[in-house]
Structure 1
């Protein structure tokens, strides 16, 4: 009698042994995105210390910092009125001596409907509030994944989403990732995106009120103080494991911060 093999996904080899820093487009610099950027700073430093080429991050957000963003997000009072992406990237570059980039616009196609070089990356991390934005990002990634050669080969996407006290992080491949032969595991070369697998649920759960909060108190009525940072840490750990361990048995998780329950999403 043969036992069923555990299903895993092996990390694309370029993430393990890159010739240049692994490129990341981080989309959204709010409650979750600002804290994911901090995690990427720590990850970049750690990878370099381990002999890796590190990361190059481009942060996309067209929002300005308001008083409502202070406290729950990674911003200081002195930064009020600045672009979120600029404030965060300037801080990251001063701390690390890197040359990461800020985009003060939404992640979208250019006016000529052609993709510019800065929109392609190895990894896409989305930390956006609306379901509409998720589907727009998914559409761009599908249009980018045409088999044409890009300097930054599209490999993975990582989506963060949450309500007041619950959330989820979903890792997906952009297309398929070639897997090695394995006697121990059953390898899986394609991980579905959140819009492909949970698209109908996303549309049903979309809230009609997306009005920006005018104060921290109002913002906390919509999202608990630590839901974003908890998701950021756990989701970044999932990404870190791709680099450090070279494989994963999980492609994400569901989190309920109200009862402190986390449920991993196994690879199937």
Structure 2
């Protein structure tokens, strides 16, 4: 029997826009933000309230970012999050928010406005993922769901020419309807439980300070390809209300994509 995960009903029938925290606005994050804007427009056309996105990134745009990330020469010196969100808001008429800082790393530092229904990480180090999971799993579960209830965590990670996208559930279980056609799955492993990060070195996962050096560590189209595939998973969640896969592994060198079943 096919295994599926039915999406939390709040995301499908909310009274307000679904809140999204995008952590990291670099190579992958800049691409993901553009895709989120397109997803928002499409959802609104389908009579859904759409998305409200908050972007976190303390970094500024440098010359090395131009070409591999969605920045131009006139953006040099600007904060990445503020630069991208301003551009998206002007282009699509949104009122999304940019926070030119790191996402809180300790549960005691997290405020209500730091929480979102969907958290998306596009960072280039392991520690940030471990810290985020400490924050998310410390949130007390409640029967009441609103715009500040963490429900899903979508993580993007990559090396030079390969990467993965993993969607996990923050609550221990998400209520599933009875089904005679499918085996329903109420919990999806988050990336820190699916990937053995204890064997990953942080200095292997980050970009360099020049474009030429950066391309030695992250190929030109790995970020944009991963962003498209990962955001397609989000689209399936909203469009169909159920998913058969919670992520994927991508290898651009061999041109292979392997899905991760729920």
TM-score by length of 2: 0.95
Contact 1:8–1:185 under 8 Å retained in 2: yes
Q: 1:166, 1:258 within 8 Å by CA — same for their partners in 2?
A: yes
**Structure 1 residue 100 corresponds to structure 2 residue 96:** yes
Kindly state the Cα deviation for residue 208 of structure 1 after the two structures are TM-superposed: 3.0
How far the C-alpha of 1:258 sits from its partner, in A, is 0.1
Q: CA RMSD in A?
A: 1.7
Match of 1:62 in 2: 58
Q: CA deviation at 1:6?
A: 0.7
**Partner Cα separation in structure 1 for residue 94 and residue 221 of structure 2:** 28
- Which position in structure 1 is the counterpart of 2:114? 119
* Comparing 127-136 and 150-159, the one that deviates more: 150-159
Aligned equivalent of 1:7: 3
User: How many pairs align?
Assistant: 260
**How far apart are 1:146 and its partner, in Å?**
4.0
Partner SS, residue 105 of structure 1: coil
C-alpha distance in 1, partners of 2:205/2:255?
A: 26
Report how far residue 205 of structure 1 moved.
Answer: 2.3
Does residue 1:141 correspond to 2:129, yes or no?
no
Map residues 33-72 of structure 1 onto 2, 5 A cutoff.
33-72=29-68
Q: Which moved more, 1:202-211 or 1:36-45?
A: 202-211
Please say if residues 129 and 192 of structure 2, whose CA atoms lie closer than 8 Å, have aligned partners that are also in contact.
Answer: yes
For 2:138 and 2:202, locate their aligned partners in 1 and report how far apart those are by CA, in whole Å: 27
Distance in structure 1 (CA, Å) of the matches to 2:187 and 2:40: 26
For residues 189 and 7 of structure 1, the distance between their equivalents in structure 2, rounded to whole angstroms, comes to: 10
Structure 2: runs of 5+ lacking an equivalent: none
Do the aligned residues in 1 keep the contact of 2:160 with 2:217 (CA within 8 Å)? Answer: yes
How far 1:151 sits from its partner (Å)?
4.4
Aligned to 2:179, the other structure's residue is in SS state coil
Aligned match for 1:83, one of 60, 63, 79: 79
Picking from 231, 244, 247, the partner of 1:249 is: 244
Contact 2:124/2:206, CA 8 A, preserved across alignment: no
Contact 2:206–2:217 (8 Å) recurs in 1: no
Structure 2 residue 114 is matched with structure 1 residue 131: no
In the TM superposition, structure 1's runs of 4+ consecutive aligned residues that sit over 6 Å from their partners are: none
Paired with 2:111 and 2:207, the residues of 1 have a C-alpha distance of 30
**Cα deviations across residues 158-215 of structure 1 (Å, max 9, x unaligned)?**
00000000000000011121111111111111001111232xx222122435776232
For residues 77 and 214 of structure 2, what CA distance do their matches in structure 1 show?
18
Query: Could you state the TM-score of these two structures normalised by the residue count of structure 1?
Result: 0.93
Residue 185 (structure 2) aligned to one of 176, 184, 188 = 188
